[in-house]
Amino acid sequence: MQWERPNALFARKALTSQGWQRDVLIGIGSDGTIAGIEKAAKAPPGAPVFDLVLPGMANVHSHAFQRAMAGLTEITSGKGRDNFWSWRETMYGFTRKLTPEHIEAIARALYIDLLKHGYTAVGEFHYVHHDGNGKPYASITELSDRIVAGAQATGIHLTHLPVMYETGNFGGAAANDGQKRFVHNADSYLQLVEALVKKYGKADGITLGIAPHSLRAVTPQTLQRILEALPGLDLADCPIHMHIAEQEKEVEDCIGWSKQRPAEWLFDHHQVDKHWCLIHATHTTSDEVIRMAKNGATVGLCPTTEANLGDGIFPAEQYLKVQGSFGIGSDSNVCVSPWEELRLMEYAQRLITRKRTVLCSEATPSVGRTLFAQAAGGGAKALGIRAGEIAPGRRADMMVLSTNHALLAEKDGDAILDTLLFAVTPAITDVFVAGKRVVTNGRHALEEESAQQLRAITRLC
């Protein structure tokens, strides 16, 4: 796909690293980064002119294929209490039917939707590796290649996180039948990562990381071995993502196995630092929250999926008070809007604390500004990319919004973000990824074709 790549764009209002600016000329270098920012500028001839420009949002956690099962799990099984674990069984059944072609087509359709809602990068926590019978494909990277192809067709930046999945529960329990498409041993997993580094280590639009699935799905020995192997694979500073403490049962099982809670165990056994992104971290204690913040890790919160699956509510008020870094993820992709994720994040806190304006501070009193800026910055950090704010040297990942809505047209500063987050459906007209204009006037070039393919898949599934 040939994308238009202007040398500069002009914004009547923009949120930059220096705060809100008016009449800003944002220069874009040939390397896809922001070359410079000129304030109180005039629009040069030929540069696209926009009313409102914001940094692109990072989506730190996606399982792309689950997009095709959205809407199929909202009906009771009639067997008593439906919960995360019964949802997981349905998901396993669904996964069994998917071919490599399906996986690519679903990823492409999803990533177009993500772009159109303002996400400019996605962390794909990719755990389906083998065919429906658990047999490896002829190429070890077959399904990773499909995810990469899906992302590259759309222009979204991909942080690809191949998942190490080994066991069915803590203590080395064997993986079950539903998990056989996911399972690697340490050797075959390291072969996969090595092959991915060879193929994509220097590719444009891709960052490689790793994802030990969770402490229930990876043994301590394997985790140790993978982490030790990273420097030799040229991945010494790569993003490391792991699900942690999503469910109370998971915490109980971990205590039964190790006498420690999952986050506690991880901090005691590994150097968890700024390269780590702990996904969910829903059931964490005050001590764990403080350790996460101090270690510089990012928490990957997925509020709509966590609500959809009945996980629980992350202690975000406390975490933000200790300057914890977070990003947001679409996870099961039941929702593809960062705005909804952030709104729900705040509303969940209001409902449990019975207060208003919870996730903000004296320094940044606006909830919209606090959540948007921190999710964009923390998310970019977790995906291993220099993005998350409009600043020279950062990637030119940006979204353009219409201010036609009557509630937006006259607003300035943080009130814009508060309105977008709480009151109007944001109308995103254009999206730039590394300077490339991948959404133009609200449209992605592949959207119709891709939607047709997704539609055909939903008929099969």
Query: Which residues bind to Zn ion, rule: CB under 5 A?
Result: 331
Nearest distance, CB of residue 139 and Zn ion, angstroms: 25
The residue at minimum Cβ distance from Zn ion is 331
Q: Please state the closest distance from residue 258 (CB atom) to Zn ion, in A.
A: 22
Smallest separation (angstroms) from Zn ion to the CB of 119: 16
Three-state DSSP string of the chain: CCCECCCEEEEEEEEECCEEEEEEEEEECCCCEEEEEECCCCCCCCCCEEEEEEECEEEEEECHHHHHHCCCCCCCCCCCCCCHHHHHHHHHHHHHCCCHHHHHHHHHHHHHHHHHCCEEEEEEEECCCCCCCCCCCCCCCHHHHHHHHHHHHHCCEEEEEEEECCEEEHHHEECCHHHCCCCCCHHHHHHHHHHHHHHHCCCCCEEECEEECCCCCCCHHHHHHHHHHCHHHCCCCCCEEEEECCCHHHHHHHHHHHCCCHHHHHHHHCCCCCCEEEEECCCCCHHHHHHHHHHCCEEEECHHHHHHCCCCCCCHHHHHHCCCEEEECCECCCCCCHHHHHHHHHHHHHHHHCCCCCCCCCCCCCHHHHHHHHHHHHHHHHCCCCCCCCCCCCECCEEEECCCCCCCCCCCCHHHHHHHHHCCCCCEEEEEECCEEEEECCECCCHHHHHHHHHHHHHHC
- The nearer residue to Zn ion, 288 or 331, going by C-beta atoms, is 331
Specify the residue, 145 or 331, whose C-beta has the smaller distance to Zn ion: 331
Min dist. Cβ of residue 95 to Zn ion (A): 13
Provide the annotated active-site residues. 280, 331
Nearer to Zn ion, 253 or 331 (CB): 331
Least Cβ distance, residue 165 to Zn ion (angstroms): 12
CB of 305 to Zn ion, least distance (A): 7
C-alpha span between 24 and 435 (Å, rounded)? 16
Instruction: Using the minimum distance from each CB to Zn ion, give the nearer residue, 283 or 437.
Output: 283
Instruction: Between 331 and 430, name the residue whose CB sits nearer to Zn ion.
Output: 331
- Which is nearer to Zn ion, 218 or 396 (by Cβ)? 218
Q: Closest CB to Zn ion among 280 and 343?
A: 280
